Amino acid sequence: MPVIPSGVQESLDISETARAVSASLDMTKKLFGILEVYHDQRAHSAAMNMAIDEALLECLTVPAIRFYRWQSPALSFGYFGRFADVANYKGNRDLVRRWTGGGIVFHGEDLTYSILVPASDATFAESSMWIYENIHRALCDALGETGQHAIVAGGDDFGRFSPPIAARRAGISDAGYNCFTTPVRADVMIDGRKVAGAAQRRTRRGLLQQGSIQGIDIGNGLAQRFARALSANCCERKVDEEILKLAQKLAQQKYGTESWLRKR
């Protein structure tokens, strides 16, 4: 084995250290150190979709993202929204009041996802807006990989829109407006048009962000790309029976009831 001069060896050691630091920095650019990914292939009712999200938040110990489908054309509206604003759609769509905030969202052809952040994860300590914006930055990166140039709406874009005051404050609040015709700060935009928005709920257990991506090509493995943009360490998971049983109970006793739907 050749003898490496000490000066060269020192240089190599420094180089190796620099590479290790660089790799560590690359990891820190991702929002989550680890991410469980649920591709829920089974289509659910609107009430059941909301219930699964709440059940996951109750049970998870690491961050997760769930992509899901709708049994029939649906409409979800924010926790503080008024039933009167969506009542006309009752015969045509599966209506549900979300646990999260935000406005009215039409579902069916969209890519719908939920991100769940347990209170034990470091990201939970960040502000709701910081989390909202950085999730959407990851989505922009994923869209860029499919050739779609997307941006996160910033201060200049934000000032051009006129959503209700509550929505303007954070982009994740509550009002009876159509989310996709009313962009707010940190939403995802392509060519001046909103293509992704979300709403949040924060509890002592963790943070839930429910989002919808629509009006664009959601193929080309966008869901997988989005997950990888959020974490370099993604683990595929399936919703287990324990979570499904809790969700069924929540759907029957909460999200699927007229009292919850007509809460306001």
Task: Retrieve residue 54's tokens.
Answer: 């709440």
Residue 13 predicted with pLDDT over 90: no
Q: Name the fold adopted by 31-261.
A: BirA Bifunctional Protein; domain 2 (3.30.930)
Q: Percentage of the chain with pLDDT > 70?
A: 81
Q: Strand runs (DSSP E) across the chain, as ranges?
A: 35-39, 64-68, 74-77, 94-97, 102-107, 111-118, 151-152, 174-178, 188-190, 193-202, 206-213, 234-237
Mean pLDDT of 200-220: 96
Three-state SS at 255: helix
Annotate 148-182 with b (16+ C-beta within 10 A) or e (fewer). bebbbbeeebbeebebeebbbebbbbbbbbebbeb
pLDDT tens-digit map of 35-84 = 999 999 899 999 999 999 999 999 999 999 999 999 999 999 999 999 99
Instruction: Kindly state the DSSP code that residue 2 receives in the 8-state scheme.
Output: P
Are the C-beta atoms of residues 76 and 99 closer than 8 Å to each other?
no
Give the CA angle between residues 146, 151, 237 to the nearest 5°: 55
Mean pLDDT of 201-228: 96
State the pLDDT at residue 179: 82
140 is catalytic: no
Task: Provide the terminal-to-terminal Cα distance of the chain, rounded to the nearest Å.
Answer: 78
Which residue of the set 59, 140, 179, 235 is catalytic? 179
Which residue's structure tokens are 């219930």?
51
Please give the biggest Cα pair distance in the chain.
82
